[in-house]
Amino acid sequence: MNRHLYVWLFRHPSLNVHPWCHSYVHSYQFKQLHLKTRLCVLGQNDNYILHYILSNWSRKYCHRDTRMIWKHKTFQKYMEDLTKEYQTLGQSLQEIPVDEADRRDMTQRHAELAPLAAIYQEIQKAEQAVEELESMCKSLNEQEEKQLQELALEERDTIDQKINTLYGELYESLLPKEKYDKNDVILEVTSGRTTGGDICQQFTREIFDMYQNYSCYKHWKFELLNYTPADYGGLHHAAARISGENVYKHLKYEGGIHRVQRIPEVGLSSRMQRIHTGTMSVIVLPQPDEVDVKVDHRDLRIDTFRAKGAGGQHVNTTDSAVRLVHIPTGLVVECQQERSQLKNKEIALRVLRARLYQQIIQKDQCQQQSARKLQVGTRAQSERIRTYNFTQDRVTDHRIAYEVRDIKEFLCGKKCLDQLIQRLLQSANKEAIVELLDENLNLKIQSSVFGRHELKHI
Amino acid sequence: MGPWARMLWTLLSGLRGRRGGIQGWAFGLWPPYLPQPRLLSPTELVSHWTRVFEKRGIPEARESSEYIVAHVLGAKTFQSLQPVLWTQPLTPQQLQCVQELCSCRLQRMPVQYILGEWDFQGLSLKMAPPVFIPRPETEELVEWVLEEMAQRPHVMEAQDGPRILEVGCGSGAISLSLLTQLPKSQVIAVDKEEAAISLTCENAQRLQLQDRIWIVPLDVTSEGSWMHLLPWGPMDLVVSNPPYIFHQDIEQLAPEICSYEDPVALDGGEEGMDVITSILTLAPQLLKHSGSIFLEVDPRHPELVSSWLQSQPDLHLNLVAVRRDFCGKPRFLHVQKSGP
């Protein structure tokens, strides 16, 4: 657990009601010591420390209280800084003559900040309006003014909603655009092999169907690339290409291990009403453009199933299946969707390119060393993200502690799934904001420590 | 409505009669291979016919039964069939259709003829015996031509696009795929067989490409045949997959090939060079300066063609490149005209 949390709980005894905090209380003395030492180092700058603590705290809780972050001092401060920067830039661009290169940089930064400042200003106006309404409500105590009070409350609710949407916009423009959000994807499902083989395969089919339905719900194009069924209507492995608007953005948090808990429909366990647990994994690969990943044909080994004999006019085979082996990485892709061997090769190459692209992205993200819970990459692909408990008719997403009651409806891949995905996107946005603030603060702390040292030397 | 309906009815009942005939014949010949009377799912049906084909020594047993079942269900491959359909039982009509097509396969008829269509470079083409069935290697020949054309912007961007001659068009696979991929191009396709000419015509119409292709019945091995092609003006390109099998190898071909495909499209004479040399002889009269010839040949041919060209300096042709197919065999030749 986060050490800062104990400190925070200690400083706010009124909130000290969480059941599990007792077990950690004994450590607070040490933590306070730790805090004191840091306070000594920084002296008057303890303000920042407090922010730092709070921002770390808020990361853990941001999905519980949506308004937490933006009510937060750190965030307010950050926004004020940005607004101030915007204003100074605007002034200096007008007044002070600067050389060409500087001027270009400044203009660019100014343009970047403009929409942020505009939205923030609007938010502040709206918040002011809310405050005024609230103070007005307080002064209206008389019986006959009740109607007016109701009107005021109604008005406040509408403004509140507006503020909510404005903050959504603000997040969107604050956060760097995710590089691959607009890309199409290749979605692969594989059934788990460990326990309860049958239920894994059945579950894999249900999940694959769910994504097919979801693509239909979102008006995306769903092309089957590969389908290996298991006995009794299950599915071992399947892959599909999904193309449309912002497909990767919506599906990127679907990658990972999905767990199922249910009583099998046939066999001994069914008669004994024994609950089995199984898994399947989903991999979501953003589909690269031709230019993003170059595959050198010398690195490819292409296996077709007619490599023996004279070939050409001497033989007439219909087997058009193609297997591509990418020698440097050992990746293998197979395709037998088409009657034309050349078309199969093209499809296989497309899949291969997507896999190579995924590796590049993973490398990128490993370097970022992000602490976010919702992240796409190696870790997320092998992490258990969701449990489908059929006996309790419940779907739980472990990353944001979200529950859906009706499994059947959820597996239809329509509104229920879409709601969960929207929630995931919101949480991811919030986590990203917290990270942004954290980075900003770390920079400030570092610079302030550095500044003091310098002063001492002087 | 009246006469039309009657005509349709006659047509349908005629069909039913024919089917009945085939069915009776199939029953008489292979009673043990008939599927059980209960309705089977596509997956079960495929494994059933795979076993039957294997027992009878039919090559590509699984592929054949998969293609046939998928075709009856309206898909191109079993893999691309809607997964929901895999376990749903077929209707009796569909089962019977599979039965009929599979009995053709037991007669070693090539799957492409059984289905009546096949894919080449992403185009679905009608296939009919005895017209030569395009092979996957030839897709690579087309790829090479396209690569080369992409490097000649002056030809591609000319007012009337590249003008291409195909010798021995068969089902029209090469010509029609070039026309689709080179939107400004024009093709003159020749073949000496009437069946090939009409099949190319039909495929061109199915693909709405009939406006840019001229299909001419012509035997290039006959004396002075090139004179007939002069009205179409000088060509940028000659492309061909001529018959190139050595005459003594013809007998060793699989029954699918030697009893169904036209030997004229396969047999290249003693050294497989008969039609190749005819093409190389007539091409210089028709080609523009530095025009190209692209050929698919036997792996023994690159050397033979090279030495033959050296013995014919008057043709002003040079073998400029040899390319290997996906099996690693030297399969494609690029010959260029250098003289006037």
For residue A247, the domain's CATH number is: 3.30.70.1660
Residue A24 within any structural domain of the chain: no
- Among A310, A337, A341, the residue with its CB nearest the CB of B139 is A341
Flag if B327 and A307 touch (Cβ within 8 Å).
Answer: yes
Flag if A316 and B261 touch (Cβ within 8 Å).
Answer: yes
- The predicted model gives A56-81 an average pLDDT of 58
All structural domains of chain B with their residue ranges: 2-107, 121-337
Flag if B119 and A339 touch (Cβ within 8 Å).
Answer: yes
pLDDT: which is higher, B218 or A275: B218
For position B18, what pLDDT does the model report?
39
- Among A304, A310, A337, the residue with its CB nearest the CB of B80 is A337
Flag if A316 and B64 touch (Cβ within 8 Å).
Answer: no
The whole-angstrom distance between B340's CA and the closest CA on chain A is 34
- Among A233, A306, A318, the residue with its CB nearest the CB of B67 is A318
Most confident by average pLDDT, A45-49, A266-270, B114-118: B114-118
Domain shared by A240 and A193, yes or no: yes
Q: What is the CATH number of domain B121-337?
A: 3.40.50.150
Number of structural domains in chain A: 2
Domain shared by A110 and A238, yes or no: no
Rg, Å, chain B Cα set: 23
Flag if B137 and A312 touch (Cβ within 8 Å).
Answer: yes
- The predicted model gives A224-249 an average pLDDT of 85
From chain A, the residues in CB contact with B77 under 8 A are 320, 336-339
Residue A205 within any structural domain of the chain: yes
For position B202, what pLDDT does the model report?
96
Domain shared by A266 and A285, yes or no: yes
Which of B46, B111, B326 is the best mutation test for A, with the most CBs of A within 10 A?
Answer: B326
- Among B63, B86, B110, the residue with its CB nearest the CB of A229 is B86
> Among B42, B114, B27, which Cα is nearest to B85's?
B42
Quick one: what percent of chain B has pLDDT higher than 90? 71
From chain A, the residues in CB contact with B296 under 8 A are 312
- Using alpha carbons, list the distances in angstroms from residue A47 to A8, A32, A170, A441: 14, 16, 25, 11
pLDDT: which is higher, A306 or B164: B164
From chain B, the residues in CB contact with A226 under 8 A are 79
**Host domain of residue A231:** 185-292+367-433
Q: Say yes or no to pLDDT of A49 above 90.
A: no
Domain shared by A169 and A123, yes or no: yes
β partners of residue A282:
A189, A256
ipTM of the complex: 0.84
pLDDT in tens, B217-257: 999 998 888 888 999 889 999 999 999 999 999 999 999 99
Domain shared by A270 and A398, yes or no: yes
* pLDDT bucket at A350, cuts 50 / 70 / 90: confident
Domain shared by A205 and A170, yes or no: no
User: Taking a C-beta distance cutoff of 8 angstroms, is the pair B98, B135 a contact?
Assistant: no
> Among B300, B308, B301, B307, which Cα is nearest to B281's?
B308
Flag if A229 and B253 touch (Cβ within 8 Å).
Answer: no
Measured between CA atoms, the residue of chain A closest to residue B256 is A316
* pLDDT bucket at B38, cuts 50 / 70 / 90: low
Question: Within 10 Å of residue B1's Cβ, how many Cβ atoms?
Answer: 5
Flag if B136 and A342 touch (Cβ within 8 Å).
Answer: yes
> Among A317, A73, A382, A354, which Cα is nearest to B111's?
A317
Residue A299 within any structural domain of the chain: no
d(CA B312, CA B99): 56
Q: Say yes or no to pLDDT of A17 above 70.
A: no
The whole-angstrom distance between B51's CA and the closest CA on chain A is 17
Q: Say yes or no to pLDDT of B97 above 50.
A: yes
Domain shared by A281 and A215, yes or no: yes
Question: Within 10 Å of residue B258's Cβ, how many Cβ atoms?
Answer: 14
* pLDDT bucket at A21, cuts 50 / 70 / 90: very low
Residue A164 within any structural domain of the chain: yes
Flag if A312 and B86 touch (Cβ within 8 Å).
Answer: no
For position A2, what pLDDT does the model report?
39
The whole-angstrom distance between A341's CA and the closest CA on chain B is 6
Lowest mean pLDDT of A293-297, B220-224, B296-300, name the range: A293-297
From chain B, the residues in CB contact with A323 under 8 A are none
Quick one: what percent of chain A has pLDDT higher than 90? 13
- Count residue pairs from A and B with Cβ separation < 8 A: 106
Measured between CA atoms, the residue of chain B closest to residue A225 is B80
Q: Average pLDDT, whole number, for chain B? A: 87
Flag if B329 and A311 touch (Cβ within 8 Å).
Answer: yes
Q: What does pTM read for this prediction?
A: 0.63
- Among B79, B87, B256, the residue with its CB nearest the CB of A227 is B79
Measured between CA atoms, the residue of chain B closest to residue A305 is B327
The whole-angstrom distance between B3's CA and the closest CA on chain A is 41
From chain A, the residues in CB contact with B118 under 8 A are 339
Flag if B299 and A310 touch (Cβ within 8 Å).
Answer: yes
From chain B, the residues in CB contact with A233 under 8 A are 87
Which of B79, B138, B144, B259 is the best mutation test for A, with the most CBs of A within 10 A?
Answer: B79
Question: Within 10 Å of residue B139's Cβ, how many Cβ atoms?
Answer: 23
Residue A317 within any structural domain of the chain: no
Domain shared by A385 and A425, yes or no: yes
pLDDT: which is higher, B202 or A400: B202
The whole-angstrom distance between A393's CA and the closest CA on chain B is 25
The 3 state secondary structure assigned to chain A is CCHHHHHHHHHCHHHCCCHHHHHHHCCHHHHHHHHHHHHHHHHHHHHHHHHHHHHHHHHHHCCCCCCHHHHCHHHHHHHHHHHHHHHHHHHHHHHCCCCHHHHHHHHHHHHHHHHHHHHHHHHHHHHHHHHHHHHHHHHCCCHHHHHHHHHHHHHHHHHHHHHHHHHHHHHHHHCCCCCCCCCCEEEEEEECCCCCHHHHHHHHHHHHHHHHHHHHHCCCEEEEEEEEECHHHCEEEEEEEEECCCHHHHHHHHCEEEEEEECCCCCHHHHHCCCEEEEEEEEEEECCCCCCCCCCHHHEEEEECCCCCCCHHHCCCCCCCEEEEECCCCEEEEECCCCCHHHHHHHHHHHHHHHHHHHHHHHHHHHHCCCCCCCCCHHHHCCEEEEEECCCCEEEECCCCEEECCHHHHHCCCHHHHHHHHHHHHHHHHHHHHHHHHHHHHHHHHHHHHHHHHHHHC
User: Taking a C-beta distance cutoff of 8 angstroms, is the pair B236, B183 a contact?
Assistant: no
d(CA A408, CA A395): 10
β partners of residue B192:
none
Tell me whether A317 touches chain B (CB under 8 Å): yes
The whole-angstrom distance between A56's CA and the closest CA on chain B is 48
Domain shared by A276 and A376, yes or no: yes
Which of B87, B132, B135, B248 is the best mutation test for A, with the most CBs of A within 10 A?
Answer: B135
- Among A235, A317, A342, the residue with its CB nearest the CB of B121 is A342
User: Taking a C-beta distance cutoff of 8 angstroms, is the pair A211, A413 a contact?
Assistant: yes
From chain B, the residues in CB contact with A339 under 8 A are 67, 76-77, 118-119
Domain shared by A137 and A261, yes or no: no
- The predicted model gives B280-309 an average pLDDT of 94
The 3 state secondary structure assigned to chain B is CHHHHHHHHHHHHHHHHHHHHHHHHHHHHCHHHCCCCCCCCHHHHHHHHHHHHHHCCCCCHHHHHHHHHHHHCCCCCCCCCCHHHHCCCCCHHHHHHHHHHHHHHHCCCCHHHHHCEEEECCEEEECCCCCCCCCHHHHHHHHHHHHHHHCCHHHHCCCCCCEEEEECCCCCHHHHHHHHHCCCCEEEEEECCHHHHHHHHHHHHHCCCHHHEEEEECCCCCCCHHHHHHHHCCEEEEEECCCCECHHHHHHCCHHHHCCCCHHHCECCCCCCHHHHHHHHHHHHHEEEEEEEEEECCCCHHHHHHHHHHCCHHHCEEEEEEEECCCCCEEEEEEEECCC
For position A264, what pLDDT does the model report?
82
For position B125, what pLDDT does the model report?
96
β partners of residue A324:
A302, A333
Domain shared by A268 and A386, yes or no: yes
pLDDT in tens, A157-185: 888 888 878 877 777 777 766 677 888 88
From chain B, the residues in CB contact with A302 under 8 A are 326
Domain shared by A169 and A85, yes or no: yes
Measured between CA atoms, the residue of chain A closest to residue B268 is A313
